[in-house]
Protein backbone atom coordinates (compact mmCIF):
# COMPACT_ATOMS: atom_id res chain seq x y z
CA UNK A 1 0.00 0.00 0.00
CA UNK A 2 1.31 3.44 -0.85
CA UNK A 3 1.98 5.98 1.84
CA UNK A 4 -0.90 8.13 0.63
CA UNK A 5 -4.29 7.79 2.25
CA UNK A 6 -6.83 7.10 -0.53
CA UNK A 7 -9.68 9.44 -1.41
CA UNK A 8 -12.71 7.81 -3.04
CA UNK A 9 -15.79 9.15 -4.84
CA UNK A 10 -18.84 7.97 -2.89
CA UNK A 11 -21.06 8.18 -6.00
CA UNK A 12 -19.43 4.89 -6.95
CA UNK A 13 -21.44 3.26 -4.15
CA UNK A 14 -24.38 3.49 -6.55
CA UNK A 15 -22.62 3.06 -9.90
CA UNK A 16 -19.67 0.73 -9.22
CA UNK A 17 -20.53 -0.82 -5.87
CA UNK A 18 -18.39 -3.94 -5.66
CA UNK A 19 -15.14 -2.22 -6.60
CA UNK A 20 -15.94 0.79 -4.43
CA UNK A 21 -16.66 -1.34 -1.36
CA UNK A 22 -13.46 -3.33 -1.91
CA UNK A 23 -11.30 -0.21 -2.29
CA UNK A 24 -12.89 1.59 0.65
CA UNK A 25 -12.56 -1.52 2.81
CA UNK A 26 -8.89 -1.86 1.87
CA UNK A 27 -8.25 1.78 2.78
CA UNK A 28 -9.84 1.31 6.20
CA UNK A 29 -8.05 -1.95 6.90
CA UNK A 30 -4.74 -0.29 6.13
CA UNK A 31 -5.24 3.23 7.44
CA UNK A 32 -8.47 3.41 9.43
CA UNK A 33 -8.94 6.55 7.32
CA UNK A 34 -10.20 7.52 3.85
CA UNK A 35 -11.10 10.73 2.08
CA UNK A 36 -14.62 10.88 0.64
CA UNK A 37 -15.55 13.20 -2.23
CA UNK A 38 -18.50 13.29 -4.61
CA UNK A 39 -20.70 13.55 -1.50
CA UNK A 40 -22.94 16.23 -2.96
CA UNK A 41 -22.94 18.48 0.12
CA UNK A 42 -23.08 22.03 -1.30
CA UNK A 43 -20.04 24.09 -0.39
CA UNK A 44 -22.44 26.94 0.42
CA UNK A 45 -23.98 24.85 3.22
CA UNK A 46 -20.58 24.08 4.69
CA UNK A 47 -19.56 27.74 4.39
CA UNK A 48 -22.77 28.87 6.09
CA UNK A 49 -22.16 26.49 8.99
CA UNK A 50 -18.54 27.63 9.32
CA UNK A 51 -19.80 31.23 9.28
CA UNK A 52 -22.01 30.76 12.35
CA UNK A 53 -19.40 28.68 14.18
CA UNK A 54 -16.72 31.34 13.66
CA UNK A 55 -19.16 34.03 14.79
CA UNK A 56 -19.75 32.13 18.01
CA UNK A 57 -16.07 31.62 18.81
CA UNK A 58 -15.47 35.34 18.16
CA UNK A 59 -17.80 36.26 21.06
CA UNK A 60 -16.32 37.46 24.37
CA UNK A 61 -15.18 34.67 26.67
CA UNK A 62 -17.77 35.59 29.31
CA UNK A 63 -20.57 35.26 26.79
CA UNK A 64 -19.33 31.90 25.54
CA UNK A 65 -18.98 30.58 29.07
CA UNK A 66 -22.69 31.14 29.64
CA UNK A 67 -23.15 28.12 27.35
CA UNK A 68 -20.84 25.89 29.35
CA UNK A 69 -22.72 23.26 31.37
CA UNK A 70 -20.70 22.42 34.52
CA UNK A 71 -20.76 18.68 35.14
CA UNK A 72 -22.37 18.05 31.76
CA UNK A 73 -19.36 16.25 30.33
CA UNK A 74 -19.27 18.72 27.43
CA UNK A 75 -22.21 16.83 25.92
CA UNK A 76 -24.00 20.00 24.80
CA UNK A 77 -23.00 23.60 24.36
CA UNK A 78 -19.59 25.13 24.90
CA UNK A 79 -16.38 23.62 26.30
CA UNK A 80 -13.75 26.30 27.02
CA UNK A 81 -10.10 26.35 26.07
CA UNK A 82 -7.90 24.25 28.36
CA UNK A 83 -10.30 21.46 29.34
CA UNK A 84 -9.98 18.48 26.99
CA UNK A 85 -6.78 16.52 27.41
CA UNK A 86 -5.90 13.55 25.21
CA UNK A 87 -5.93 10.21 27.05
CA UNK A 88 -2.61 9.77 28.85
CA UNK A 89 -1.37 13.28 27.87
CA UNK A 90 0.15 15.69 30.40
CA UNK A 91 -0.96 18.90 28.73
CA UNK A 92 -4.39 20.04 27.64
CA UNK A 93 -5.24 20.54 23.95
CA UNK A 94 -5.14 24.04 22.44
CA UNK A 95 -8.79 24.24 21.50
CA UNK A 96 -12.31 25.30 22.44
CA UNK A 97 -15.40 23.66 20.98
CA UNK A 98 -19.17 23.38 20.88
CA UNK A 99 -21.26 20.20 20.86
CA UNK A 100 -24.52 19.79 18.97
CA UNK A 101 -26.41 16.57 19.70
CA UNK A 102 -29.40 14.83 18.14
CA UNK A 103 -32.79 16.46 18.56
CA UNK A 104 -35.11 13.92 20.19
CA UNK A 105 -38.52 14.26 21.87
CA UNK A 106 -38.58 14.93 25.62
CA UNK A 107 -40.43 11.66 26.22
CA UNK A 108 -37.78 9.59 24.40
CA UNK A 109 -36.30 6.74 26.42
CA UNK A 110 -32.89 8.20 25.59
CA UNK A 111 -33.60 11.65 27.04
CA UNK A 112 -31.59 11.13 30.24
CA UNK A 113 -28.40 10.49 28.25
CA UNK A 114 -29.21 12.72 25.26
CA UNK A 115 -30.08 16.15 26.73
CA UNK A 116 -31.60 19.02 24.72
CA UNK A 117 -29.29 21.21 22.67
CA UNK A 118 -28.25 24.70 23.68
CA UNK A 119 -28.29 27.39 21.01
CA UNK A 120 -26.45 30.71 21.29
CA UNK A 121 -28.90 33.64 21.09
CA UNK A 122 -26.11 35.92 19.91
CA UNK A 123 -25.59 34.14 16.58
CA UNK A 124 -28.54 34.17 14.17
CA UNK A 125 -28.72 31.04 12.02
CA UNK A 126 -26.56 28.94 14.36
CA UNK A 127 -29.27 26.37 14.91
CA UNK A 128 -30.43 26.24 11.29
CA UNK A 129 -26.96 25.85 9.78
CA UNK A 130 -25.49 23.84 12.63
CA UNK A 131 -28.26 21.28 12.78
CA UNK A 132 -28.50 21.24 8.98
CA UNK A 133 -24.89 20.09 8.82
CA UNK A 134 -25.57 17.54 11.58
CA UNK A 135 -28.31 15.91 9.51
CA UNK A 136 -26.34 16.02 6.30
CA UNK A 137 -23.31 14.31 7.87
CA UNK A 138 -25.55 11.77 9.62
CA UNK A 139 -26.90 10.74 6.20
CA UNK A 140 -23.47 10.61 4.58
CA UNK A 141 -22.16 8.59 7.53
CA UNK A 142 -24.94 6.03 7.09
CA UNK A 143 -23.83 5.51 3.52
CA UNK A 144 -20.23 4.94 4.57
CA UNK A 145 -21.45 2.47 7.22
CA UNK A 146 -23.40 0.59 4.53
CA UNK A 147 -20.22 0.14 2.53
CA UNK A 148 -18.30 -0.90 5.66
CA UNK A 149 -21.03 -3.44 6.49
CA UNK A 150 -20.98 -4.96 3.00
CA UNK A 151 -17.20 -5.28 3.09
CA UNK A 152 -17.38 -7.60 6.13
CA UNK A 153 -20.33 -9.66 4.89
CA UNK A 154 -23.16 -7.88 6.72
CA UNK A 155 -26.35 -6.66 5.03
CA UNK A 156 -26.19 -3.15 3.62
CA UNK A 157 -28.68 -1.84 6.19
CA UNK A 158 -27.11 -3.60 9.20
CA UNK A 159 -26.26 -0.36 11.01
CA UNK A 160 -29.54 1.44 10.22
CA UNK A 161 -31.59 0.42 13.27
CA UNK A 162 -28.52 0.58 15.52
CA UNK A 163 -27.74 4.21 14.70
CA UNK A 164 -31.14 5.82 13.98
CA UNK A 165 -31.15 7.30 17.50
CA UNK A 166 -27.39 7.49 17.64
CA UNK A 167 -25.91 9.70 20.35
CA UNK A 168 -23.88 11.45 17.64
CA UNK A 169 -22.17 14.80 18.12
CA UNK A 170 -21.25 17.59 15.73
CA UNK A 171 -18.21 19.36 17.17
CA UNK A 172 -17.18 22.71 15.68
CA UNK A 173 -13.63 23.34 16.95
CA UNK A 174 -11.59 26.55 17.17
CA UNK A 175 -7.85 26.29 17.62
CA UNK A 176 -6.84 29.88 18.44
CA UNK A 177 -3.63 31.48 17.19
CA UNK A 178 -0.63 30.24 19.16
CA UNK A 179 1.16 33.28 20.54
CA UNK A 180 3.55 31.78 23.10
CA UNK A 181 6.74 30.11 21.98
CA UNK A 182 7.98 26.87 23.46
CA UNK A 183 4.74 25.54 24.87
CA UNK A 184 4.49 21.82 25.49
CA UNK A 185 0.82 21.65 24.42
CA UNK A 186 -0.33 20.71 20.94
CA UNK A 187 -3.56 21.64 19.16
CA UNK A 188 -4.86 18.09 19.56
CA UNK A 189 -2.72 15.46 21.24
CA UNK A 190 -2.40 11.98 19.74
CA UNK A 191 -5.68 10.14 20.30
CA UNK A 192 -8.23 7.73 18.90
CA UNK A 193 -11.88 8.68 18.47
CA UNK A 194 -14.40 6.97 20.75
CA UNK A 195 -17.37 6.53 18.39
CA UNK A 196 -18.16 4.31 15.36
CA UNK A 197 -16.90 6.60 12.59
CA UNK A 198 -15.92 10.29 12.40
CA UNK A 199 -16.65 12.54 9.43
CA UNK A 200 -14.33 15.53 9.43
CA UNK A 201 -15.16 18.69 7.53
CA UNK A 202 -12.25 21.09 7.34
CA UNK A 203 -9.23 18.86 7.21
CA UNK A 204 -8.18 21.05 4.29
CA UNK A 205 -6.45 23.30 6.84
CA UNK A 206 -3.03 21.76 7.46
CA UNK A 207 -2.22 20.05 10.74
CA UNK A 208 -3.99 16.67 10.82
CA UNK A 209 -1.58 13.74 10.98
CA UNK A 210 -2.39 10.03 10.95
CA UNK A 211 -0.12 7.34 12.39
CA UNK A 212 0.63 4.63 9.84
CA UNK A 213 0.97 0.96 10.74
CA UNK A 214 4.73 1.49 10.47
CA UNK A 215 4.48 4.17 13.15
CA UNK A 216 5.13 7.19 10.93
CA UNK A 217 3.10 10.37 11.17
CA UNK A 218 1.49 10.96 7.78
CA UNK A 219 -0.01 14.42 7.15
CA UNK A 220 -3.53 14.20 5.76
CA UNK A 221 -4.47 17.57 4.37
CA UNK A 222 -7.43 16.92 2.13
CA UNK A 223 -8.80 18.86 -0.83
CA UNK A 224 -11.52 21.38 0.00
CA UNK A 225 -14.26 19.14 -1.43
CA UNK A 226 -13.16 16.11 0.59
CA UNK A 227 -14.56 14.90 3.89
CA UNK A 228 -12.16 12.76 5.91
CA UNK A 229 -13.85 9.71 7.41
CA UNK A 230 -12.09 7.58 10.03
CA UNK A 231 -12.86 4.58 12.22
CA UNK A 232 -13.39 5.08 15.96
CA UNK A 233 -12.85 2.73 18.89
CA UNK A 234 -16.43 1.46 19.03
CA UNK A 235 -16.26 0.16 15.45
CA UNK A 236 -12.77 -1.20 16.05
CA UNK A 237 -14.10 -3.14 19.04
CA UNK A 238 -17.23 -4.33 17.23
CA UNK A 239 -15.13 -5.59 14.31
CA UNK A 240 -12.43 -7.16 16.49
CA UNK A 241 -9.87 -4.70 15.04
CA UNK A 242 -10.56 -5.65 11.41
CA UNK A 243 -11.30 -1.93 11.06
CA UNK A 244 -8.59 -0.20 13.11
CA UNK A 245 -9.19 2.99 15.05
CA UNK A 246 -6.09 4.86 14.03
CA UNK A 247 -4.20 7.31 16.22
CA UNK A 248 -4.19 10.88 14.91
CA UNK A 249 -3.30 14.36 16.13
CA UNK A 250 -3.33 18.00 15.11
CA UNK A 251 0.11 19.58 15.18
CA UNK A 252 1.06 23.20 15.81
CA UNK A 253 2.06 24.90 12.55
CA UNK A 254 5.63 26.12 12.15
CA UNK A 255 6.68 29.78 12.50
CA UNK A 256 4.27 32.53 11.57
CA UNK A 257 1.66 29.98 10.50
CA UNK A 258 1.03 29.32 14.18
CA UNK A 259 -0.42 32.84 14.53
CA UNK A 260 -3.39 31.81 12.40
CA UNK A 261 -6.42 30.13 13.89
CA UNK A 262 -7.60 26.76 12.66
CA UNK A 263 -11.22 25.64 12.49
CA UNK A 264 -12.51 22.15 11.89
CA UNK A 265 -15.82 20.34 12.33
CA UNK A 266 -15.82 16.62 13.14
CA UNK A 267 -19.10 14.68 13.29
CA UNK A 268 -18.75 11.79 15.73
CA UNK A 269 -21.25 9.16 14.60
CA UNK A 270 -22.36 7.06 17.58
CA UNK A 271 -24.72 4.09 17.90
CA UNK A 272 -27.96 4.25 19.87
CA UNK A 273 -27.05 4.49 23.59
CA UNK A 274 -28.39 0.98 24.33
CA UNK A 275 -26.61 -0.69 21.41
CA UNK A 276 -24.56 -3.59 22.73
CA UNK A 277 -21.01 -3.54 21.35
CA UNK A 278 -20.39 -7.26 21.00
CA UNK A 279 -17.69 -8.57 18.65
CA UNK A 280 -19.18 -9.62 15.30
CA UNK A 281 -18.74 -13.39 14.85
CA UNK A 282 -17.72 -12.89 11.21
CA UNK A 283 -14.65 -10.94 12.36
CA UNK A 284 -13.38 -13.70 14.67
CA UNK A 285 -10.95 -16.15 13.04
CA UNK A 286 -8.21 -18.51 14.26
CA UNK A 287 -5.67 -15.76 13.43
CA UNK A 288 -7.78 -13.10 15.11
CA UNK A 289 -9.51 -14.57 18.15
CA UNK A 290 -12.04 -12.39 19.96
CA UNK A 291 -10.27 -9.57 21.77
CA UNK A 292 -13.35 -8.58 23.80
CA UNK A 293 -15.19 -11.54 25.31
CA UNK A 294 -17.38 -9.14 27.33
CA UNK A 295 -19.86 -6.91 25.52
CA UNK A 296 -20.54 -3.34 26.69
CA UNK A 297 -23.32 -0.88 25.87
CA UNK A 298 -22.42 2.16 23.81
CA UNK A 299 -23.39 4.42 26.71
CA UNK A 300 -21.30 2.45 29.21
CA UNK A 301 -18.31 2.62 26.91
CA UNK A 302 -18.75 6.34 26.29
CA UNK A 303 -18.85 7.19 29.98
CA UNK A 304 -15.65 5.25 30.63
CA UNK A 305 -13.89 7.09 27.85
CA UNK A 306 -15.11 10.59 28.73
CA UNK A 307 -13.55 10.24 32.17
CA UNK A 308 -10.25 9.38 30.51
CA UNK A 309 -10.23 12.59 28.46
CA UNK A 310 -11.24 14.72 31.45
CA UNK A 311 -14.64 15.66 30.10
CA UNK A 312 -16.42 13.84 32.93
Ligand X SMILES: O=C(O)CCC(=O)C(=O)O
The site for Fe ion (CB under 5 A) is made up of 193
Q: How far is CA 7 from CA 28, 37, 52, 254, in A?
A: 11, 7, 28, 26
Residue 118 in the binding site for ligand X (CB under 6 A): no
Which residues does residue 35 pair with via DSSP β-bridges, in sequence order? 7, 228
Query: How many residues in the shown chain lie near ligand X by CB under 6 A?
Result: 10
Name which of ligand X, Fe ion, none residue 264 binds, using a CB cut-off of 5 to 8 Å depending on partner kind. ligand X
Is the alpha carbon torsion for 28, 4, 23, 226 positive or negative?
A: positive
Distance CA 105, CA 127 (A): 17
Residue whose CB is less far from ligand X, 51 or 295: 51
Q: Closest separation between CB of residue 53 and ligand X, Å? A: 12
Among 105, 156, 115, 109, smallest CA distance to 274 is for 109
Name which of ligand X, Fe ion, none residue 102 binds, using a CB cut-off of 5 to 8 Å depending on partner kind. none
Q: Which residue is nearest to Fe ion (CB)?
A: 193
Q: DSSP state, 110?
A: T
Distance CA 213, CA 198 (A): 19
Q: Quick one: which of 21, 24, 208, 238 contacts ligand X (CB under 6 A)?
A: 208
Which residues does residue 169 pair with via DSSP β-bridges, in sequence order? 268
Q: Closest separation between CB of residue 193 and Fe ion, Å? A: 5
Of the chain, the end-to-end C-alpha distance in Å amounts to 39
Q: Which residue is nearest to ligand X (CB)?
A: 264
Q: Closest separation between CB of residue 111 and ligand X, Å? A: 26
Q: Which stretch binds ligand X (CB under 6 A): 107-115, 123-131, 200-208, 289-297?
A: 200-208
Which residues does residue 98 pair with via DSSP β-bridges, in sequence order? 78
Residue whose CB is less far from ligand X, 264 or 272: 264
Per DSSP, the residues of 221-239 read ---TT-EEEEE-HHHHHHT
Q: Quick one: which of 172, 253, 266, 271 contacts ligand X (CB under 6 A)?
A: 266
Answer whether 200's CB lies under 8 Å from 227's CB.
yes
Question: 151 to 190, contacts with ligand X by CB under 6 A?
Answer: 173, 188
What's phi and psi for 125, nearest 5 deg?
A: 85, -5
For strands 208-211 and 217-219, give the pairing: antiparallel
Residue whose CB is less far from Fe ion, 84 or 193: 193
Residue 200 in the binding site for ligand X (CB under 6 A): yes
Q: Closest separation between CB of residue 301 and ligand X, Å? A: 16
Residue whose CB is less far from Fe ion, 93 or 193: 193
Answer whether 167's CB lies under 8 Å from 100's CB.
no
Residue whose CB is less far from Fe ion, 246 or 283: 246
Q: Quick one: which of 85, 136, 195, 264 contacts ligand X (CB under 6 A)?
A: 264
Residue whose CB is less far from ligand X, 230 or 283: 230
Residue 100 in the binding site for ligand X (CB under 6 A): no
Residue 64 in the binding site for ligand X (CB under 6 A): no
Name which of Fe ion, ligand X, none residue 138 binds, using a CB cut-off of 5 to 8 Å depending on partner kind. none
Contacts of 312 (CB under 8 A, 6+ apart): 73, 303, 306
Question: 224 to 263, contacts with ligand X by CB under 6 A?
Answer: 248, 250
Which residues of the shown chain bind ligand X in the complex (CB under 6 A)?
173, 188, 193, 200, 203, 208, 248, 250, 264, 266
Amino acid sequence: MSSRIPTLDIRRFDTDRDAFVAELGASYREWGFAGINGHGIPQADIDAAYGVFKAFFALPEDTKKRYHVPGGGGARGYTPFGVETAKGAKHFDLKEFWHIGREIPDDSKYRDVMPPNLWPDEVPGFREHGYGLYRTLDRLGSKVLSALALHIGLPEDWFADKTHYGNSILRPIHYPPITADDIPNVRAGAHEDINLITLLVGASAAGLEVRSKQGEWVPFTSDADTIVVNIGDMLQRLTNHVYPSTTHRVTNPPGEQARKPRYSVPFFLHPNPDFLIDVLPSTVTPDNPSRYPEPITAQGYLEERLREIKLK
